[in-house]
Amino acid sequence: MQWTDQQQVEFLTRFYNEIIAAAADLLKQQDVEILTTKPDPNELSYFSQRAQSSMKPEELELDLEDIDWVKNALAQIADGPESEILADVYGRIIDLAARFEEIDDAEDVSPYIYVMF
């Protein structure tokens, strides 16, 4: 799909409000804490144990070219009581990918914020 920058911004803003912010509201209503953001003096350690300590050969195989496979894999990543909401958001975002033309190049590394997204 070809669209102008302004159309893209409007579309993504609407998507954000209708899907992401709405899902966030639902999670808040359910008292789901998505990220821990504060130290806890009662914790003895902040380490998380890895579910699997080493990589199995099959874990190296992903099929990112198959949208259904991607959605299914993401639905499995979404765990906990909020999994349904998360899986729905993931699926809707992945569906957007088809509307975005392939970009040739990544943006320059930002001088202001660590590139993490």
1 near other proteins, rule: CB under 8 A: no
CA-based torsion, 68, 78, 29, 39: positive or negative: negative
Q: Please give the full DSSP string across 57-96, using - where no structure is assigned.
A: GGGG---TT-HHHHHHHHHHH--STTHHHHHHHHHHHHHH
Is residue 42 involved in binding other proteins (CB under 8 A)? no
Tell me how far apart the alpha carbons of residues 33 and 71 are, in angstroms, rounded to a whole number.
23
3-class DSSP assignment, residue 92 = helix
Binding status of residue 45 toward other proteins by CB under 8 A: yes
Determine which residue in the list 7, 18, 21, 81 makes contact with other proteins, applying CB under 8 A. 21
Find the binder of other proteins among 8, 18, 81, 84 (CB under 8 A): 8
Give the interface with other proteins as residue ranges (CB under 8 A). 8-9, 12-13, 16-17, 20-21, 23-25, 27, 34-41, 43-50, 53-57, 59-65, 70, 73-74, 77-78, 86, 89-90, 93-94, 96-97, 99-103, 105-117
